[in-house]
Structure 1
């Protein structure tokens, strides 16, 4: 049996609970898709992308936590980045899609688009750190 540190166990438990939020996002998306919530084509596209990124990145992020615990000797900041960088991206990237599309009749992203490069940076840094940690262990 894989033993997780207390921090990893707490992180994974919290992240698993966020799946309920992703599920409610799916319900919202269903309401948008059936016309119950008015949205522009741009908003529908961004809402779908935000929901998809949330689900995929949370799943990948959980895998990264387990791999950082089980398959690396990373410590300190590097362990944190390898274990949770993707999870930080799982907040920033979907947030960028949803928040930048908010507002009645919006047809282009607002200032929350700044979350995209921040999320991409955490995603890249997290997976590269984890991969290097695995290769060096």
Structure 2
């Protein structure tokens, strides 16, 4: 039987990413409070809360897969780092962007300037998956 051996870099990142799942669980619990009407929010805020939660869950899962794939490449240095942290960083930035840009009380119906975090997350996601994809194709 062949055992999976993570690089030290991937092992540390995977440990941190796995621990971050607790925050996604708390977000899920918060969404149940929103759904029950316990937290007053506009439709816009509810939609952004769902988007932030969904992006966190999907991108954290993809980030863990990317760590295993990154260890199958010959990428090192800055490129290896980008392949390993691009997707997990996108999970943080995009989720934070959805949540933070919809904060506020009253009739919040549009994102504030913190929506820029979503675009930074999209850039991090693109850098991570393109670097990793090219690394897999050229190794």
Q: TM-score, normalised by structure 1?
A: 0.97
How big is the shift at 1:2?
A: 1.6
Query: Is 1:97 the counterpart of 2:98 in the alignment?
Result: yes
How big is the shift at 1:7?
A: 2.0
CA deviation string 1:35-58 (max 9, x = no partner): 001100000000000000000000
The residue number in structure 2 matching 1:114 is 116
Q: Which runs of 5+ in 2 are unaligned?
A: none
Q: Which runs of 5+ in 1 are unaligned?
A: none
Identify the match of residue 38 of structure 2 among 6, 31, 36. Answer: 36
The residue number in structure 1 matching 2:10 is 8
Structure with the bigger percentage of helix: 1
Stretches of 4+ aligned residues off by more than 6 angstroms = none
- Give the total of aligned pairs: 136
Query: Is 1:77 the counterpart of 2:67 in the alignment?
Result: no
Quote the RMSD (CA, aligned, Å).
Answer: 0.7
Query: d(CA) in 2 for partners of 1:47 and 1:20?
Result: 17
Query: d(CA) in 2 for partners of 1:107 and 1:131?
Result: 38
Q: TM-score, normalised by structure 2?
A: 0.95
